[in-house]
C-alpha cells in the first residue's frame, strides 16, 4: 500500500511544484528591456502602422480579451477563400477589423489569380507572453516589440500552398504579386523573412 501511495503522490508533488514555478516565472519578459529595443529601419514602419489603430501593447490574455469584449478584435476563421490558418500554438486568431478584411481580400485575390489556390497563415496576433513562450523554442523570435503585439499583423508561409509543405516557386511568385499590389496601394507593409519561410504582413490604417 505504501509503495502505491508513493508512486501516485510523488508525481503529484512534482506537478504542483512545476505549475507553481511556472506561475512565478510569468510574465517572462521585462517590459522595460523590451521597450528599449529599437526597431530596424525596415521594421519601423510596421510598428508605426500598428500603433495607429489605438490598440495598447498586448501584454497578456487579459488585454486581448478586453479588445474582444469591446468589439475591437474580430475572430479569424480557420479557412476562407484563398487561405487556411494553421494550428496556432504561439498566437491568437483575432485582429482589428481592417486587418481581418485585408487578409480576406488578399486570400480572395490569390485564389482568383491561382484558380482556387490557397496559402497558409502561420501566425496572427501575439501577446508579449506568447512571444516569450515562442522564444523558448525559437531564438529568432523578436526580442523587442513586434507588430504582432497590436492585432494588425499576420504571417503567410511561402513554403505551404494548398495545404502541402513543399517549395512551389510558381505559387510563391503569385503570392508576392498579390502582396505587391496591396503594398503599392498603400494597404500593407510586408517583409520576406527567410529564417521563418514566411511573409510578415502589417496592415496599414488606410
- Determine the average pLDDT of the residues in 161-182: 98
pTM for this structure?
0.82
How many CB atoms lie under 10 A from the CB of residue 2?
Answer: 6
| Interatomic CA distance for residues 152 and 98, integer angstroms | 8
Q: pLDDT exceeding 90 applies to what percent of the chain?
A: 70
Q: Each residue of 41-82: pLDDT tens digit?
A: 999 999 999 999 999 999 999 999 999 999 999 999 999 999
What pLDDT digit, counting tens, does each position of 139-168 carry?
Answer: 555 567 899 999 999 999 999 999 999 999
Phi and psi at 159, nearest 5°, equal: -125, 10
Dist CA 124 CA 130 (whole Å): 11
Whole-number pLDDT of residue 93: 98
Could you tell me what percent of the chain has a pLDDT over 70? 80
Rounded to whole angstroms, the Cα distance separating 50 from 48 reads 5
- Res 131: pLDDT: 84
Run of H or E including 2: helix 2-25
Rounded Cα–Cα distance for residues 87 and 84 (Å): 10
Residue 11 half-sphere exposure toward CB, CA atoms < 13 A: 4
C-alpha to C-alpha distance for 73 and 69, rounded to whole angstroms: 8
- Rounded to whole angstroms, the Cα distance separating 114 from 190 reads 20
Q: What angle do CA 153, 88, 74 make, to 5 degrees?
A: 50
Asked whether residue 17 carries a pLDDT value surpassing 70, the answer given is no
Give the model's pLDDT for residue 40: 85
Tell whether the model's pLDDT for residue 200 goes beyond 60.
yes
Question: What distance in Å separates the CA atoms of residue 137 and residue 128, rounded to the nearest whole number?
Answer: 15
Amino acid at each position: 500500500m505504501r509503495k502505491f501511495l508513493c508512486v501516485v503522490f510523488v508525481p503529484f508533488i512534482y506537478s504542483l511544484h512545476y505549475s507553481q514555478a511556472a506561475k512565478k516565472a510569468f510574465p517572462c519578459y521585462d517590459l522595460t528591456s523590451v521597450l528599449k529595443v529599437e526597431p530596424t529601419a525596415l521594421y519601423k514602419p510596421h510598428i508605426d502602422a500598428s500603433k495607429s489603430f489605438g490598440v495598447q501593447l498586448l501584454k497578456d490574455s487579459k488585454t486581448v480579451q478586453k479588445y474582444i469584449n469591446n468589439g475591437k478584435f474580430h475572430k479569424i476563421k480557420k479557412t476562407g477563400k484563398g487561405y487556411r490558418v494553421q494550428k496556432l500554438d504561439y498566437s491568437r486568431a483575432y485582429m482589428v477589423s481592417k486587418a481581418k478584411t485585408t487578409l480576406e481580400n488578399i486570400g480572395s485575390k490569390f485564389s482568383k489569380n491561382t484558380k482556387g489556390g490557397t496559402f497558409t497563415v502561420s501566425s496572427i496576433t501575439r501577446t508579449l507572453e506568447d512571444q516569450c513562450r515562442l522564444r523558448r523554442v525559437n531564438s529568432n523570435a523578436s526580442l523587442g516589440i513586434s507588430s504582432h503585439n497590436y492585432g494588425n499583423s499576420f504571417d503567410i508561409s511561402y513554403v505551404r500552398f494548398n495545404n502541402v509543405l513543399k517549395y512551389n516557386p510558381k505559387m510563391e511568385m503569385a503570392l508576392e504579386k498579390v502582396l505587391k499590389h496591396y503594398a503599392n496601394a498603400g494597404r500593407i507593409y510586408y517583409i520576406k523573412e527567410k529564417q521563418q519561410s514566411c511573409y510578415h504582413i502589417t496592415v496599414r490604417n488606410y
